[in-house]
Amino acid sequence: MKKIVSFFGERSEIFIDLNNRAENYARELGFEYKWSVQKPFDEKAVIEELKNADAGIIDVEPYDERIFKEINTQTRLLVRFGVGYDNVDLNAASKYGIAIARTTGANTSAVAEMALLLILATKRKLNINQQCVRQGNWMKKVGNEIIDGTVGIVGFGHIGKKLSQILKGFNCRIVSYDPYPDEKAMKEMGVEPVSLEELFRISDAISIHVPYNDSTHHLVNEKLLSLMKPTAVLVNTARGNIVDEDALYKALSERKIAGAGLDVFAAEPLPLDSPLLKLDNIILTPHVSSQTVESLWNIYKMAIDICNDFFAGKDSPHILNPDYKIH
């Protein structure tokens, strides 16, 4: 019986239940499943666990050559619990013959829903109005509607498409920028392809859904932010370093844009001395876009299914470094 080790999940009632379900599901497929909490991340403990495992389900922490060279005798596959893999050294994994996969699509609905939540909350100044009630202040802050407005989606992948689908109920004009546009899907969904500059210029709300890599580092910079309407808001549920936080702070503090909703940050946890925490026109959440019971189970199940297909010798679209096979 092959062994899977999962390193994702805090020791809470929800994650205990999810991992019990995962253990039962894995057993049905012929796998031994072990849950190992790593909060905070303990590289030495992870290595010791993986040395005796055929596969691992990993979180957002760095996985590089230091780990791969210690575990490659036994471990053949690591599955990223989620979509982003910027902290995984794919070249080093391939060097040691370890396949890296991700659970693409499993959290699509949850992240798209969170993006919509942040758009609505920032447009209607929800955090400021909540403080008014808590302080007995009742100085009502007037926001803007997104109904009949223009929403710009940066990145038209699984999540961008899902958000577009949801926004149709708001009668929005939807525009999107993607360096590799799915023109057929855009046409079918009534989404207008535009340049990145035009998207920032015309949108009432902008939502970021591109992966983080060298080409998207600080993609949203001072120049793009300067193009936004003063009533527009920016939402990021992708990766923190896609947005230049210094430039965003400047735009928000000077009221050049109306607000922002961030679920991801350049450094996580967000440092308590971050200037973003001083702003009243920003909503901050602790990287929880994919954290719904439904989405988490989808991810656990998909991760185990990927393991099952991998060891059955099936080709998988979820493998990120197909060159691992040559080693």
Q: Are 227 and 177 in contact (CB under 8 A)?
A: no
pLDDT-flagged residues of the chain (< 50): none
**What is residue 220's three-state secondary structure?**
strand
Asked if 2-104+291-326 and 108-284 have one fold, the answer is yes
Query: According to the model, what pLDDT value does residue 27 have?
Result: 97
**Class of the 108-284 domain?**
alpha beta
Query: According to the model, what pLDDT value does residue 40 have?
Result: 82
Query: What are the boundaries of each domain within the chain?
Result: 2-104+291-326, 108-284
User: Known catalytic residue: 32?
Assistant: no
Which listed residue (10, 65, 197, 268) is catalytic?
268
Query: According to the model, what pLDDT value does residue 60 have?
Result: 84
130-140, pLDDT tens digit by residue? 999 999 988 88
Query: According to the model, what pLDDT value does residue 37 have?
Result: 84
Classify domain 2-104+291-326 by CATH number: 3.40.50.720
Going from the C-alpha of 289 to that of each of 109, 203, 240, 264, the distances in angstroms are: 10, 22, 13, 9
Which listed residue (76, 124, 287, 318) is catalytic?
287
Answer whether 0.85 is exceeded by the pTM.
Answer: yes
User: Known catalytic residue: 287?
Assistant: yes
Which listed residue (102, 158, 239, 318) is catalytic?
239
User: Known catalytic residue: 239?
Assistant: yes
